[in-house]
Amino acid sequence: MKTKLPRIFLLLLGAVFLINMLQSYCTPLIFDEAYYWYYAQNMAWGYFDHPPMVAFMIKLGSFLFDGELGVRFVSCIFSVGTFVVIWISIDNPKKRNYVVPFFVLVFSMALLNAYGFFTLPDTPLLFFTALFLYTYKRFLFDSSLRWAIIMGLAMACLMYSKYHAALVIVFVLLSNLKLLANKYAWLSVFVALFCYIPHFIWLYQHDFVTISYHLFDRPNAAYDFQKYTLGYFVNLVAIFGLTFPLIYLSLFKTRSSDTFTKALLYLVYGVLIFFFISSFNRRVQTQWIIVIAIPLAIITFRYMMQNEKVNQWVFRIGLVNIAIILYLRVGLVNEELSPIYYETHGNKAVAEQIKAEVGDTPLIFINSYRNAPMFAFYTGNDTYSLNNAYYRRNQYSIDDSELKLQHQKVLYFSGNPKKSDISFTKSNGGTFYGEFIEDFESFRKLETIVDGPMPLETDKEQILKIYNPYDRPVALKKLRFNVAYLTDFKKVENAILIYPKPVDDKILSLPPNDTINFTFKLPEPKMVEPAYFRVSISDNGLPFGLNGKNTELLY
């Protein structure tokens, strides 16, 4: 199989790489990138929201470059790598005559373009999806030990990128069930699972916190056709931009002429059907279906070489797409040229104001895993997201960031203008209101444990266990408790103070690394038939935290 790249291909590839490098250097971080940069400050085999590949990319790039370019450098490599792998996955000898249309096609795909420089879990997901499909294609021609191992490594990297990768692997397998009788296919699976053992260990050590959050604890809302199902179809357009009719036309016109094409079709239709069904349960985010861009790039380019009319229209509309995308990319850097306010705008300037005013004072943001890492990146200060009962858990809930701030003077961005000592205004008019706390102390990791499911009986004594994971005792006088009642969709509807009593009434503090039993009564809820409740703790007058799991109520 010839893989030598034409000279024009290399020139265009180099141009794309330079554009993405320049964009990476000039564009301030978006909030998710800052969050993943925060991951990379403490390398691990897993993180609260995702596997570790995105953190590894940032860590590697930061060894080579400082600032935003360090965060994004490996993404630039993966982007052009994705283009190369898609290209070599196509066997048609005519493709050397269609190099420019190929680049117009892939560079005009809106999200494929954006992930050319943004560093998000979807960036390696796209690259390793392309690589997995290529190795699978080679494996079909040569089911050998070598390609079995290479395909297993590709699958492992895919799963280290994002959990959605499981869909890619499953739908390719379903397209060719004969693989179940192939010993080398099983070897690939073994290699992938062996390489994934460190992440399995991390999950076990952290009580499968990531799986638990995504499957059980993630808040939801009542079904809304416009936001959920109709929004899903809007996402199918947004992935590709103006060329979407021609891309989906190529999909509908393509038949399973061989095993590899069948895998491409199974992957696209499988993902589309899976998330269409999911849209009746929750809002499907655009990036969740981004993997279809890889098989559809192959399918569409093949069809373009078969149908000159489609090729011409993809080329024309694709150029319009590219012009719009490049304009929007300029707007990411220059706020005055942007048609909308975007999250790259204003954060760096506010960070400079904060740094000038408070120096190295640690910064605490309430309910913001977005602001905390963003301002850590641009100020260099220690930061922390203080998550309360109305928010969600995140990486700040499980790492040691809280410990670093204990008994220090901090600037606490409570958002309350009446209590603020200082404020900072962004270019979009948003204001940060901060108050100084001279001796900050919090116990966000205290864990409340209630055996459930439990009937809603407000006159009955219940057992509440409180686990103190700290290496120091926690005085009970510093704590207050409440019961938060939640809807079927795990949204807190109301919260009511309670006064648990230690079973041993002589206890005045929670011993370190120990569990103490309390008794309490469920308060009368101020809502109709709550579905869940959660016992929360307020430490030193701070907002009530996310200290326990949701306990189901029985009726």
Mean of all residue pLDDT scores within the chain: 95
366 shares its domain with 325: no
pLDDT band of 1, cuts 50, 70, 90: very low
Q: pLDDT at residue 306 above 80?
A: yes
The pLDDT of residue 339: 87
From 309, 335, 361, give the residue that closes a domain.
335
Residues 312-333 as b or e (16 or more Cβ within 10 Å = b): ebbbebbeebbeebeebbebbb
413 shares its domain with 265: no
pLDDT band of 428, cuts 50, 70, 90: confident
Indicate the SS3 state at residue 429: coil
Is-contact 473 441, C-beta < 8 A?
Answer: no
Kind and range of the H or E run holding 170: helix 165-174
| Positive or negative: CA dihedral 51, 163, 82, 172 | positive
Tokens of 56: 């590894």
Q: pLDDT at residue 193 above 90?
A: yes
Is-contact 268 292, C-beta < 8 A?
Answer: yes
Is-contact 130 89, C-beta < 8 A?
Answer: yes
Q: Give 81-130 as a DSSP string.
A: HHHHHHHHT---GGGGG-HHHHHHHHHHSHHHHHTTT--STHHHHHHHHH
With respect to residue 278, please indicate whether it lies within any of the assigned structural domains: yes
**Number of neighbours of residue 346 by Cβ within 10 angstroms:** 18
With respect to residue 294, please indicate whether it lies within any of the assigned structural domains: yes
Q: pLDDT at residue 80 above 80?
A: yes
With respect to residue 506, please indicate whether it lies within any of the assigned structural domains: yes
Q: Could you report the per-residue pLDDT of 265-288, keeping only the tens digit for each? A: 999 999 999 999 999 988 999 999
CB-neighbour burial class of residue 508 (10 A; exposed 0-12, middle 13-18, buried 19+)? exposed
390 shares its domain with 501: no
Give the CA distances from residue 95 to residues 83, 185, 303, 368, in Å, rounded to whole numbers and listed in that order.
14, 30, 11, 48
Indicate the SS3 state at residue 489: coil
182 shares its domain with 294: yes
Kind and range of the H or E run holding 455: strand 454-455
529 shares its domain with 468: yes
The pLDDT of residue 127: 98
Number of residues assigned to the chain: 555
Q: Could you report the per-residue pLDDT of 242-268, keeping only the tens digit for each? A: 999 999 999 999 999 899 999 999 999
With respect to residue 285, please indicate whether it lies within any of the assigned structural domains: yes
Beta strand 454-455 pairing with 551-554: parallel
464 shares its domain with 425: no
Please state the rounded mean pLDDT for residues 332-357. Answer: 93
With respect to residue 342, please indicate whether it lies within any of the assigned structural domains: no
With respect to residue 142, please indicate whether it lies within any of the assigned structural domains: yes
Cα separation, 317 vs 312, in Å, equals 9
Cα-to-chain-centroid distance, residue 293: 18
37: CB partners within 8 A, 6+ apart: 29, 58, 71, 373, 377
From 437, 468, 491, give the residue that closes a domain.
437
181 shares its domain with 81: yes
Cα-to-chain-centroid distance, residue 525: 34
Indicate the SS3 state at residue 447: strand
Q: pLDDT at residue 367 above 90?
A: yes
Q: What is the pTM of this model?
A: 0.95
The pLDDT of residue 69: 98
Residues 41-56 as b or e (16 or more Cβ within 10 Å = b): eeebbbbbbbbbbbbb
The pLDDT of residue 466: 98
Torsion angle in degrees (nearest 10) through CA of 61, 51, 20, 1: 100
Q: pLDDT at residue 371 above 80?
A: yes
Give the CA distances from residue 444 to residues 58, 237, 249, 408, 543, in Å, rounded to whole numbers and listed in that order.
28, 42, 53, 16, 10
pLDDT band of 213, cuts 50, 70, 90: confident
Beta strand 363-366 pairing with 383-386: parallel
Cα separation, 452 vs 463, in Å, equals 11
194 shares its domain with 305: yes
The pLDDT of residue 332: 95
Domain span at residue 264 reads 7-335
With respect to residue 340, please indicate whether it lies within any of the assigned structural domains: no
Nearest to residue 206, comparing CAs of 426, 489, 395? 395
With respect to residue 463, please indicate whether it lies within any of the assigned structural domains: yes
Kind and range of the H or E run holding 18: helix 7-26
Cα separation, 269 vs 263, in Å, equals 10
387 shares its domain with 528: no
Q: What is the CATH number of the domain that holds 469?
A: 2.60.40
Count of the separate structural domains present in the chain: 3
Q: Could you report the per-residue pLDDT of 22-74, keeping only the tens digit for each? A: 999 999 999 999 999 999 999 999 999 999 999 999 999 999 999 999 999 99
304 shares its domain with 408: no
The fraction of the chain above a pLDDT of 90, given in percent, is 92
pLDDT band of 108, cuts 50, 70, 90: very high
Q: pLDDT at residue 114 above 50?
A: yes
From 437, 456, 475, give the residue that closes a domain.
437
Q: Could you report the per-residue pLDDT of 495-507, keeping only the tens digit for each? A: 999 999 999 989 9
The pLDDT of residue 222: 84
154 shares its domain with 112: yes
The pLDDT of residue 221: 83
141 shares its domain with 170: yes
* 3-class secondary structure per residue, 403-417: HHHCCCCEEEECCCH
Is-contact 261 254, C-beta < 8 A?
Answer: yes
Beta strand 410-413 pairing with 363-366: parallel
